[in-house]
Amino acid sequence: MGRAPCCEKEGLRRGAWSPEEDQRLVVYIQQNGHPNWRALPRQAGLLRCGKSCRLRWINYLRPDIKRGNFSADEEALIVRLHRELGNRWSAIAAQLPGRTDNEIKNVWHTHIKKRLEDGDDGEDKKKARKSKLAAAKRSAAKKATDVDADAVDNSEQHQPFLTASPRLSSSVSSGMTTFSTATDSAAAVSSSADNAATTSHQQEQQQQVGAISKAETMEMETSFSAAELFPPIDDSFWSSADVMDMGLAAMDEELGLGLADPLSSSSTRDEDMEFWLKMLLEAGDMRDLSVL
């Protein structure tokens, strides 16, 4: 069976998603759905492969994504399901509302698998434990001497997903809520849009976002400019976009966005976030798409 390349590699962006791209994707899908992933990037004005867009949406931007640490129950369920289903991550994910196959896969490989393997001890595993023990001792010693810093450390340790994009990590107040990362901000935006149907997961998520942001805010006690939150996309991105069939400006007009030229934007971060929240809240039909 012949297989066409999933996308034209040339001229497409790769790597971490920028906040602009996240928002563009979220807004487009909320308004139009995703009937055709392959065509979506062009229609949404994104220089991304369709697969990349799909992955980003499925794993991080969907409104119903549950973030935060896995509970003991969830981990136990994963272990049980893995025993029954093997590496069928999507099937396992189907049993864990709000969790994605990618997330479960990562958790399995980085946490659960190791924990299970600890049953059959090898010398190096003993070493590792010894090392961990030493680290714990050091940590405890530090705790005794540095209580204030510890509060922040703990919040970060216990909420790893809330700083899931360390590369983009920043803390920003929107006036309505506080976002900690690009991913979180997008998720929170989605949650806001989905307000009427807010689930306990989403509430939990919002609480967690608020919690970590508080800690980060306390730690940093700094404010960020719009340019810091939405760093300018490199020139090649925008110049490439200019030659697209449908330019970004046209796309923005069609979508009601104002992202065609982020460099020219003099709006503040708060204004930007309020704009997006307003935009999403006004898109009344979005809620119907939140179950995608």
Q: List contacts with DNA (CB under 7 A).
A: 1-4, 6, 13-17, 34-39, 49-52, 54-56, 59-60, 87-91, 101-103, 105-107, 109-111, 114, 128, 131-132, 134-135, 138, 156-157, 160-161, 164-167, 169, 183
- CA–CA–CA angle 40, 44, 46 (5° rounding): 90
- Name the minimum Å distance from CB 266 to DNA: 27
Q: How far apart are CA 199 and CA 98, in angstroms?
A: 11
- Name the minimum Å distance from CB 261 to DNA: 23
Residue 34 makes CB contacts below 8 A (sequence gap 6+) with 40, 53, 54, 57, 292
Whose tokens are 């030659």? That residue is 243
Residue 178 three-state SS: strand
The residue (of 51 and 126) whose beta carbon lies closer to DNA is 51
- Name the minimum Å distance from CB 116 to DNA: 13
Burial 5-44 (b: 16+ CB within 10 A, else e): eebeeeebbeeebbbbbbbbbbbbbbbeebeebeebbebb
- Name the minimum Å distance from CB 205 to DNA: 13
Q: How far apart are CA 111 and CA 94, in angstroms?
A: 20
* Strand locations in the chain (E): 172-173, 178-179
